[in-house]
Structure 1
C-alpha cells in the first residue's frame, strides 16, 4: 500500500518517509481549507476531499499545523499561515512581547483517509516565543525556542527528533502497524 501525502512541502514528505514503513508518495493537490478553530476538522475535511478527488483508491494523508500562543488563548493556531502572511513572524513576536506569558506550542494534526473513515493523529512540542535567532527552518522557526534553542538554530535532524509532526507521525505509524481490529480509540 502506498500512502499519498497531500502536500507541496517536500520536507514533510521526507519526514514522513523516516517514520512510515509504507511507501509515501507526494501529491500536490490544493484541497479546500475550511475555516475552523480546530486543526482536526480542517485536516479531516482536506483528507476526505483529496481522497475523493484522487480517485478513492489509495489512502491519503493530510496535515494541518499551527503555532499556539498561551497568552492569546492559542492564537494564531489554525490561522498561523494567514497571520504570518499579514502580520509577519516579527509581528507575532512583538505581540507576544506585550504579554506576561511567552509560552507556546507547535501542533500538527494528521488526517488519514482510506475511504471508510478518517483517523486523526496529533503531535505537539512545547516552547516559548523569543526574539528571532537562527538561519534554518521556515515560518515561525526563528522565534520558537525549545530547550534553549530556536527551531531555526537546529539542524534538520535535531528539529525532526522533537517535531510536532514527527510526534504525530510516530502515533500514526504505530496505529498503521497495528492489526485492523486494534485501530480504534484515541490517538
Structure 2
C-alpha cells in the first residue's frame, strides 16, 4: 500500500519512510506519485489544524492515504512565538532558517537562562484509505541557548538546547529518540500497527 507524504522536505520523507516501510507501507512523495500538490494555505490556528489541511489536500487530490505534519518551536519568553509560524517567522526580513533563528536570539537578548524555556511541537495527521483520521501531537521541552551551536539538524536546532547539547549537536539517532517528531512518528507507527496488523 502506498501513502503519499504531503511535504517537500526531503528529511521528513526519509524519516517517514523509515517508520512506514516495516509496516508494508510505501511512503511516496508527490513527485514519485506523479502528481503536483498545490501549495496549500496554512490557515489553521493550531499545529493539528494545519497538519490536517495539508494531509486532506493531498488525500483529496490523489485519493491515496496521506500523512502530513506541522511542527514548530514555541518560546516561553515570546508568549509562545513563533509557534505555527515557525517556518515563516517575520517573512518581511527573514528568508531562511538561519535568519529566523538569529531573529529569536536577537529578541531574547538580555533574557536570563531561567526564562529561556521553549518547546518543539509536532502534530501529525494521517488520513487512512477509508477517510478516517489518526491525529497525534507530541512535544519536546528544552530552552533557547545564547548562540548557534552545532552543525546538524535544521530549522531552530542550533539554538534549541536539550540537556547539555543543542539539537544540532545530536546525531540523527539521538535526536529521533527524544524529539517531538521522533515521539510523534513512534506513536503513528503504533497506531498504524493496530490498524494493519
TM-score range relative to shorter protein? 0.7 to 0.9
Cα deviation, 1:25-68, whole Å, max 9, x if unaligned, reads 122534413223301011111111111112x1x20001111001
| Equivalent in the alignment of 2:87 | 81
The question of 1:38 aligning with 2:41 is answered: no
User: Structure 1 unaligned runs (5+)?
Assistant: 181-187
| Equivalent in the alignment of 2:7 | 7
Two-structure CA RMSD over aligned residues (Å)? 1.9
- What is the rounded CA distance, in whole Å, between the counterparts of 1:43 and 1:179 in structure 2? 20
- What is the rounded CA distance, in whole Å, between the counterparts of 1:45 and 1:104 in structure 2? 26
Cα deviation, 1:3-22, whole Å, max 9, x if unaligned, reads 21111122112211222322
Give TM-score, length-normalised by structure 1.
0.86
Cα deviation, 1:127-159, whole Å, max 9, x if unaligned, reads 110021011121111100111111111122222
| Equivalent in the alignment of 2:105 | 93
How is 1:3-152 mapped onto 2 (pairs within 5 angstroms)?
3-20=3-20, 21=23, 22-27=25-30, 29-54=37-62, 56=63, 58-83=64-89, 85=91, 86=94, 88-99=100-111, 101-114=115-128, 115-130=130-145, 131-152=147-168
Give TM-score, length-normalised by structure 2.
0.82
Return the structure number with greater helix share. Answer: 2
> How many pairs were matched up?
178
Q: Point out 4+ residue stretches in structure 1 off by more than 4 angstroms.
A: none
Decide which moves more: 121-130 or 90-99: 90-99
| Equivalent in the alignment of 2:194 | 178
User: Structure 2 unaligned runs (5+)?
Assistant: 32-36
